[in-house]
Amino acid sequence: MPGEEQAYRAGFVSIVGRPNAGKSTLTNALVGSKVAITSSKPQTTRHAIRGIRTTDDTQLILVDTPGLHRPRSLLGQRLNDLVRETLLSVDVIGFCLPSDQRVGPGDTFIARDLADLHRVRQVPVVAIATKADAVSRDRLAEHLVAIDQLGDWDAIIPCSAKSGEQVEEVADLLASYLPESPQLYPADQITDESTLVQIAELVREAALEGVRDELPHSLAVQVEEIVPREDRPDDSPLSDVRVNVFVERPSQKAIIIGRGGSRLREVGTEARQGIEELLGHRVHLDLHVKVAKDWQRDPKALDRLGF
């Protein structure tokens, strides 16, 4: 009714899609701040990262999931299980399909999963044509038709997280499917990820840049400890952050370290900037590269690394 106050809406939105579909970039754009690491490498996201977007009338809790894929290791199977578990507890799903790539078997694989979920739980699914800025209008139109033919979606919308085009419209569309609810998180909170996880992800993001295609799957990062320096003045704190970077083979360790340690220094420099911004003070970042043979297939190693 005219003049009637709108009820507040809040709930959980799962952002899904095959690897490298633009999920993390879209999540960051919707939140308005970096909460998920991004990379051109597949399987960048390995945790269900929650980004929180709060406005005067809605609160979107965005769950950026790992890319659904046909698993080739125990890690891949556990990542798929994580996504499917997440999908069982959300209010709406955003299915990302990159405009600069044809709809393919990976998208069909996910579409079947979502169709099964819709039959069981009636969860609304919004198909999102990501990376719309990367193609011509004609190619985008073809892509939208292919998306429409892929499944029975509640809505289809194109956007570009990189340029910001239609990001607000995507947020409004997703929010329209949320239930009436008070805010679930404080208005100034943008993620519920722990500091340790955020630091580990910043190091992994830096380590992913410029490495060979097979290496990203073998990279795992774990924060050993964060120790504040006791002899520092209150207005100039400094913390020692000790981080272990795990790979599966000695040859991969050599790649990460680089000639004379040059590559590892680059990783440390880039990661340290993000960590200092996160913690709000200077840090001394101590990186160690270790070999954990075939950790992706070792249940005990996966448990230790938090998968």
Question: pLDDT for 108-145, tens place per residue?
Answer: 988 988 888 888 788 899 999 999 999 999 999 999 99
Is the confidence at residue 227, as pLDDT, over 80? yes
Average pLDDT over residues 169-174: 97
CATH class, domain 9-175, is alpha beta
Which range is least confidently modeled, 111-115, 190-194, 239-243?
Answer: 190-194
- Residue 71: both structure tokens together: 């698993």
Give the predicted TM-score (pTM) of the model: 0.69
Architecture of domain 195-304: 2-Layer Sandwich (3.30)
The helix-helix angle for 195-208 and 262-279 (nearest 10°) equals 150
Task: Label residue 93 by pLDDT band (50, 70, 90).
Answer: very high
Q: Which residue has the higher pLDDT, 85 or 28?
A: 28
Instruction: List where CATH 3.40.50.300 sits in the chain.
Output: 9-175
Banded model confidence at residue 5, pLDDT cuts 50, 70, 90: low
In this prediction, residues 198-211 reach a mean pLDDT of: 81
Highest mean pLDDT (candidates 36-45, 186-195, 269-278, 291-300): 269-278
Domain with CATH 3.30.300.20 in the chain: 195-304
SS3 149: helix
Give me the pLDDT at residue 10, please. 94
Secondary structure class of 307 (helix, strand, coil): coil
Where is pLDDT greater, at 45 or 218?
A: 218
pLDDT of res. 41: 46
Return the percent helix, strand and coil in the chain, to nearest 5. Answer: 40, 20, 40
Cα–Cα dist 93/79, whole Å: 17
Is the pLDDT confidence value at 42 over 50? Answer: no
Rounded Cα gap, residues 19 and 186, in angstroms: 31
The reported pLDDT for the residue numbered 198 is 82
* Average of per-residue pLDDT values in the chain: 84
Question: How far, CA to CA in Å, does 226 sit from each of 104, 191, 215, 230, 264?
Answer: 44, 20, 27, 12, 19
